[in-house]
Amino acid sequence: MITRRLTLAAGAAALLGSLAGCAGMGGPAGPEASAGHWSGRMSLRVDSAPPQSFSAFFDLRGNAKAGQLQLTSPIGSTLGLAKWSPGMATLQTGSDIRQFDSVEMMIEAATGAAIPMDALFGWLDGQQQSVPGWRADLSQVSAGRLQALRDSPSPAADLRIVFERPQ
């Protein structure tokens, strides 16, 4: 359960702000928005009881409405594959496949913390998005670094992403 939760947490973190790039994508996230592609490293710490932390390499494609996130270990093993589209989301870890009604539900089930997906994709694009309880530091997005902190509701969470946007 903890491994499954940590894998999903990494996916959520990557989706949320991913974990960073040389360039952002433009436009609002929505069904008609263009898809983005980011890859890099991400980490997520959730101050739950017990505290949880996870880091992984990621490859993120899509937007808040439809996309895919693959997480890999430092030695290249696939840790998990998350896919989402309107009305459904799936998380595959090994031979285990779990289905959810939304990407937000999948992320919260995996990490114990709700991550604002619309805002995450905006943050990756360098757009300040106001989300109650969250503070995003976009000062280094142009250098491929993003940090987003959640203060409320509990548990607190710290998402850090180092990314690039493949050509």
Domains and CATH numbers, the chain: 2-164 (2.50.20.10)
* pTM tops 0.85, yes or no: no
State yes or no: cis peptide before 116, omega within 30 of 0.
Answer: no
CA 61 to CA 131: how far, in whole Å? 23
* Partner residues linked to 148 by β-bridges: 136, 159
Tell me, what's the pLDDT at 12?
Answer: 41
pLDDT attached to residue 149:
95
pLDDT averaged over consecutive 10-residue blocks of the chain (167 residues)?
A: 43 35 31 70 91 90 92 90 94 93 86 80 90 94 94 91 83
Give the pLDDT score at 167.
60
